[in-house]
Amino acid sequence: MTRTLLLAAALLAAPAPLTLAWAQHATPYAGLQQRDIRALSPQQVEDLLAGRGMMLALPAELNGWPGPMHVLELATSLRLTPEQRRETEALMATHRAEARRLGAELVEEERGLDAAFRERRITPEELTIRTNRIGALQAALRAEHLRTHLRQTALLSGEQVTRYAELRGYTGGATAPAHRHRH
C-alpha cells in the first residue's frame, strides 16, 4: 500500500511532463482537420485522380509480374518488339483511364462521407452505405492495378520477365510466374 501511495504522490507532483506527454500523444491528427477531405492527403487525392499506382500492385510487382509503366521505361533494355510496345502502350492507356475513373469516384465518395460527418447529418444507415461504396471502389481500383500486371506479363517472354526483375533489382527473391505468351 505504501508503494502505491508513493507512486500516486510522485505522479501528482509532476503533472507538467505528464500533461506534455499526453498532449503529444492525444493530438496526432492536429492540422488534418484543415484538409479538403479529412481522410485523404492532397497527395493521395492527386494520385487517385491521376491514376497512379500508390503501391496497390505490390503483390504483383514484387512477385515477378511486371507492370506496363515500368516495362515502357525499360523497353530498350527489355528489347520489346514493336508489337509488344504497341500493346503495352495500349494497355497502359486503357489502364490509366480506368484507374483515373475509379480514383475520381473514390475521391467523390470520400468527399461525401467527410461532408456528412462535418455537417453532422450522418446516420448509421448512411455510414454503412457510404463505407460499403468506398470499400468496393478501393477493391475495384486495386484489382484494376493488379489485373494490369497480369495482362502485361502475358505480353512478355519468360526471358523478358526475368530481365525485368533484374533491371528492377528484384533478383534473388520470387521466381517469375509461369509464362503464357500469346504472340
- Give the residue from 147, 153, 4 showing the smallest Cα distance to 65: 153
pTM of the predicted model over 0.85: no
Q: DSSP letters along 44-110, please?
A: HHHHHHHT--TTTTHHHHTTT---HHHHHHTHHHHT--HHHHHHHHHHHHHHHHHHHHHHHHHHHHH
Using N-to-C axis directions, what is the helix angle for 2-13 and 15-26, rounded to 10°? 70
Average per-residue pLDDT in the chain?
Answer: 87
Res 177 pLDDT > 90? no
The answer to whether position 48 is within a domain reads no
Cβ proximity of 146 and 60 under 8 Å: yes
Give the residue, 27 or 46, on which the prediction is more confident.
46
What local confidence, expressed as pLDDT, does residue 107 receive?
98
Mean pLDDT of the region 169-178 = 64
What local confidence, expressed as pLDDT, does residue 26 receive?
67
Burial annotation 84-111 (CB, 10 A radius, 16+ → b, else e): beebbeebbeebbebbeebbebbbebbb
The answer to whether position 19 is within a domain reads no
The answer to whether position 161 is within a domain reads yes
Q: Residue for cell digits 504472340?
A: 183
Residue-number span of the structural domain to which 157 is assigned: 53-169
**CB-based contacts of 138: which residues, under 8 Å, 6+ apart?**
106
The answer to whether position 180 is within a domain reads no
The answer to whether position 182 is within a domain reads no
- How does residue 14 score in pLDDT terms, banded at 50, 70 and 90? low
What local confidence, expressed as pLDDT, does residue 88 receive?
98
What local confidence, expressed as pLDDT, does residue 11 receive?
46
The answer to whether position 28 is within a domain reads no
The answer to whether position 93 is within a domain reads yes
Lowest mean pLDDT among 9-18, 90-99, 106-115: 9-18
Please tell me the distance from the alpha carbon of residue 72 to that of residue 92, in angstroms, as a whole number: 9
Query: What are the pLDDT digits (tens) for 83-100?
Result: 999 999 999 999 999 999
Res 104 pLDDT > 70? yes
The answer to whether position 57 is within a domain reads yes
Res 181 pLDDT > 50? no
Q: How many domains does the chain have?
A: 1
